[in-house]
Amino acid sequence: MRLSLFFVLTVLVGAGFSDVIFEENFDCRQISQTAVKSGENAVSVSKGSLDFSWLEETGNKLLHKGNDVDAVWDVDIEPYRKNSKTIYISFLLRNLNPDVKHSFAGLGIYNNGNELFGIGNDFESNYFKYYYSGGSRIIGKAPTLVDGEVHLIAARIDFRKGKKDKFTIWLDPLVRRDLNDQNEWKIARGEFEFDFNELRFRAGDENNKWEFDELKIATDWDSLFEYDNSPGGKVSKAIKNAELPGRSEKLDKDVNRFYAKYADLEQVPFSFAIAKEFENVSRLQETPGLRPVFSKTNGRKYVYFDTPAEDDFYGIGEAQGGLKRNGYRIVFYNRDNYNYRIPDKMYQSHPWVMGVRPDGTAYGIIFDTTWKSEIDLRAGILFSVPGDALDFPVYTLEAKNPSRLLEMLGEITGKIDMPPRWAIGYQQCRYSYYPDSRVREIAREFRQRQIPCDVIWLDIHYMDGYRIFTFDPERFPNPKGLNDYLHTKGFKNVWMIDPAPKYEEGYSVYDSGSEIDAWVKTKDGEDYIGKVWPGKTVFPDYTIPRVRKWWADHYQDFLDQGVDGVWNDMNEPAVFEAKGHTMPPDNIHRGGGKLKPGKHIQYHNVYGYLMIKATREGMLQYAPNKRPFVLSRANFLGGQRFGATWTGDNGSTWAHLEQSIPMSLNLSLSGQPFNGPDIGGFVGDATPQLYAHWISAGAYFPFSRSHTANGTKNHEPWSFGEETEKASRRALNKRYRLMPYLYTLFWHSHKNGSAVMKPVFFADPDDKSLRAEDQVFMLGDNLIVIPKWAEDVNLPEGVFRDLEIGDNEKWDKYQCKLLQKGGSIIPVGEKVQSTEELGAVNPITLSIVLDENGKASGRLYEDSGKGYEFKEGEFVVSNFKAERTDGGISVTCDKQVGEFAYDKRFVKIAWITENGISFGYGDICKEIEVMKTDKFEYIE
Ligand code: GLC
């Protein structure tokens, strides 16, 4: 059988073709929907090639398998060609069904009805391919599947007249790229020599679920990307020149709040994001520069900010891509995103943007809605929700710099609770360690090998048939005994609890939940039954107060087993084999208290948020004076108050290692400082080198945990051979040595909302060259972490010195370079295997780098690391100062606050200069003098 470029085609009836938009100047009569049979038009490619050189990763293995139904447009190219040497093409697709196999979208080049070749996505294999009559060839990954939403493929064709037409075709299948950046187009570029007069666009799948919504062909960029809907790179006039806000309020000095004129203020729902009660709300008198316009068009509601093109955008939560968010479009609808296959949705939603102006001043915008929504940062800031979403306020924040802006975000949306110190230690996880003897073995290995670690994690295999709040009687007959064992070895434990209990009469969680009518309902009022790990499951409706109470109460017996921390996973919620991998948007939540009944589309994004809030309440109810630790996969803006988050199921690839830095940075810039990736990558086997690089950098993430999927090779630091083990030990030793500094950063974050991990542009916000730097990052304001693989990095100007801790490792292939900022004092602790070895006040070395004026200062926060006594004064904050003297420096403790204040404390001083390190020792409550010797290379 001959394989056509595409598939067997069948005419689609009424699949949304009516909206085709074309440039007025051109004759569009040629454009028609046609049916073509497979095989009838197969031709051979005579000449022409695609540039495959950039494609190392994907190989050339998969074959094209599609053979189903297409939607087709034929476009006569001649009228366009007459008018321009270059034409631009884009099309939008809607209602893609991600679960349908054999789906395809692409573009074919034709001559007199003969297909010369085609380029497009095969969504089944997830590859972007070049199709020719003899088969197909992979030319890249196809990240264009956007989960039933809107998808844009853009192409540019440059013609060069010769005897025959020569042309170059550029195709960009990526949804979120900056379409104005010509460099991005190299993704699929080929030069061809053909006569051709026809283009054909196709998309299809066996269930005929796709719609070609808009097809545009233009001879200039600008008109190409002027869409009425958000995927465009340009915003339509209707949206741009829309109505000024209705009610506009001043909430605080630099905080305003706006509503649409058409907003029904009575119906504005409870805010999940906003934690602050504004006391002096007044009508906004002045006309601020940062002001939205509101519109309703195309069945959606839009909020638009016409921001200057020079502004840089950050935030928007856990999105994929680089640090700078300009040019991105993402959907806020929490999504189980295995291997990050879907480009435009992630596990958490933070409808918030940070803007940084060229002069370094910053602004922030909160779109205070939990509804499914999207943000488009291609031309200003465009935010939209479905037309039937309830109206919501938009908050604007103005700040003198990005750091201050984050603090304001913390003041408004809430800050993290002070975490238990062990949660800042390194953690070891896998899906799953079982039986209990294996858990013990892992614990023993860490201690024998002297690789520091605080926590061992228990994934779903500990449960009895994946029933939450149960233990497998054979694998884990004595969970309490296991936890006791871990405690004696200086480990804490974290156990997983998923949201959805098994649908099974006789199972106590199901029975007790059914008794209080706890489950989310279908639109017909039945209990919604989905499928997750245990098979059929029901889903607690956490919008109902009695359900949250019921959920919290479940932790009583569970924590009685000596459980230290709780891991809430799958809480987007993920539902297997369901459309969009979650429950239907019209499922019903019944609410209660401040929450009105509403559809799932309204509460979806806070399903995880409400779950972890209830988990945390359960933990505090059980042990009011123990700082709870909850890790969540899904969350929402403001949810940092209830738990830490990790970035879900990444892959063991270089790309995801590199991705982890901008992803964690942007989460940090969205109010969630306590986050991190699965070190080593979750999906697949890490190579020894990848793991070594990953843990060497991962040791500096706020949340630092190795994790890997079911069935992969072992991913413990020692499982990859000696070199990787050594690299891991070194990196983790440094994390633990930096614990006093890290713990202080967490305390800062808890107090004032600052980020723990920050982009380097925070150090110098008006230095434009730093704005997109996302290979390196900062911990707090004084430490820059430069991964070994980072190349051509942009660093802030000023004094920075190598901070070498542990040994001189210049030859090491994996360790990050640490740079300490001039003017800072960083407290460094001693080597420990676990934070359990620490007391409240511990031995320290003060690492000092002077600034240009010969001065430095630094702060250290200390407390028990466990309970809430610090709220009653049981802590100490020490402020250290250093100053240049004749031939040396003098170091003092300037001020102490808190009941743990001391009047004698012997500390080591390590003064780092350009020539080496000089050491000193003494009582910091008096003055310590250090003479310049520059003798040493590292801090022991
Ligand atoms: C999900 C989680 C992953 C976990 C697995 C099994 O994929 O993201 O971390 O290991 O479920 O519970």
Instruction: Give me the helix-helix angle, 688-698 and 654-668, nearest 10°.
Output: 10
Helix and strand totals (H; E) in the chain: 15, 54
Q: CA 151 to CA 297: how far, in whole Å?
A: 19
Q: How many CB atoms lie within 10 A of CB 437?
A: 11
Could you identify the atom of ligand 1 that is nearest to the CA of residue 430? 10
Q: Is there a contact between 391 and 267 (Cβ–Cβ < 8 Å)?
A: yes
- 3-state SS assignment for residue 202: strand
Q: Is there a contact between 224 and 21 (Cβ–Cβ < 8 Å)?
A: no
Strand residues in 162-317 grouped as ranges (E): 165-172, 188-193, 198-204, 211-218, 226-227, 234-235, 248-252, 255-258, 282-283, 293-297, 300-305, 312-315
Mark whether 249 is an active-site residue. no
Mark whether 569 is an active-site residue. yes
Cα(573) to centroid of ligand 1, in Å? Answer: 13
Q: What local confidence, expressed as pLDDT, does residue 123 receive?
A: 62
Cα(679) to centroid of ligand 1, in Å? Answer: 14
Cα(428) to centroid of ligand 1, in Å? Answer: 14
Cα(708) to centroid of ligand 1, in Å? Answer: 9
Q: How many CB atoms lie within 10 A of CB 798?
A: 12
Q: CA 859 to CA 893: how far, in whole Å?
A: 9
Strand residues in 465-597 grouped as ranges (E): 492-497, 530-532, 535-537, 565-568, 588-589
DSSP string, 624-642: TTS---EEESSEETTGGGT
- Probe ligand 1: pick from 494, 649, 712, max atoms within 8 Å of CB? 649
- Probe ligand 1: pick from 569, 635, 647, 705, max atoms within 8 Å of CB? 569
Could you identify the atom of ligand 1 that is nearest to the CA of residue 649? 8
Q: CA 503 to CA 53: how far, in whole Å?
A: 52
Q: CA 741 to CA 751: how far, in whole Å?
A: 15
Cα(140) to centroid of ligand 1, in Å? Answer: 27
CATH class of 421-501+554-738: alpha beta
Residue 299, classified by CB atoms within 10 Å of its CB into exposed (0-12), middle (13-18) or buried (19+), is exposed
Q: Residues with beta carbon inside 6 Å of ligand 1?
A: 431, 459-460, 496, 569, 633, 648-649, 707
> Which protein residue's CA is at the shortest distance from atom 4 of ligand 1?
431
What are the structural domain ranges in the chain? 71-176+185-227, 234-399, 421-501+554-738, 744-931
Could you identify the atom of ligand 1 that is nearest to the CA of residue 709? 10
Same fold: 234-399 with 744-931: yes
- Probe ligand 1: pick from 459, 498, 679, 706, max atoms within 8 Å of CB? 459
Q: CA 443 to CA 455: how far, in whole Å?
A: 9
Tokens of 585: 């948007």
Q: Return the C-alpha torsion angle 846, 847, 853, 854, nearest 10.
A: 70
Q: What local confidence, expressed as pLDDT, does residue 86 receive?
A: 72
Q: What is the pTM of this model?
A: 0.81
Q: Is there a contact between 842 and 830 (Cβ–Cβ < 8 Å)?
A: yes
Q: Is there a contact between 158 and 86 (Cβ–Cβ < 8 Å)?
A: yes
Helices (H), 450-588: 479-488, 508-515, 545-553, 555-560
DSSP string, 317-373: SS-SS-S--TT-EEEES----GGG-STT--SEE--EEEEE-TTS-EEEEEE---SSE
For the domain with range 744-931, which CATH number is right: 2.60.98.20, 3.40.47.10, 2.60.40.1180, 2.60.40.10?
A: 2.60.40.1180
Cα(611) to centroid of ligand 1, in Å? Answer: 17
Q: Which of 569, 658, 678, 862 is catalytic?
A: 569
Q: Which of 649, 658, 716, 725 is catalytic?
A: 649
Could you identify the atom of ligand 1 that is nearest to the CA of residue 710? 10
H/E run at residue 848: strand 845-849
- CA nearest neighbour of 336 among 522, 500, 481: 500
Q: Which of 572, 658, 678, 809 is catalytic?
A: 572
Q: How many CB atoms lie within 10 A of CB 737?
A: 25
CATH code, residues 234-399: 2.60.40.1760
Q: What is the mean pLDDT of each run of 10 residues along the chain (940 residues)?
A: 26 24 24 23 32 34 30 63 69 53 64 69 63 62 43 62 58 42 46 64 51 59 45 66 92 97 96 97 94 88 94 95 87 91 86 98 98 90 94 98 98 98 98 98 98 98 98 98 98 98 98 98 98 97 98 98 98 92 96 98 98 98 98 98 98 91 98 98 94 98 98 97 96 98 98 98 97 97 96 95 88 93 98 98 98 98 98 98 97 96 98 97 98 94
Q: CA 269 to CA 440: how far, in whole Å?
A: 49
> Which protein residue's CA is at the shortest distance from atom 12 of ligand 1?
460
Could you identify the atom of ligand 1 that is nearest to the CA of residue 496? 12
Q: Is there a contact between 541 and 520 (Cβ–Cβ < 8 Å)?
A: yes
Could you identify the atom of ligand 1 that is nearest to the CA of residue 648? 8
β-pair partners for 467: 464
Mark whether 149 is an active-site residue. no
Q: CA 207 to CA 224: how far, in whole Å?
A: 30
Cα(899) to centroid of ligand 1, in Å? Answer: 43
Q: Look up tokens 């892959």; give the residue.
A: 651
Architecture per CATH, domain 71-176+185-227, reads as Sandwich (2.60)
Q: Look up tokens 């321009």; give the residue.
A: 84
Q: CA 885 to CA 875: how far, in whole Å?
A: 32
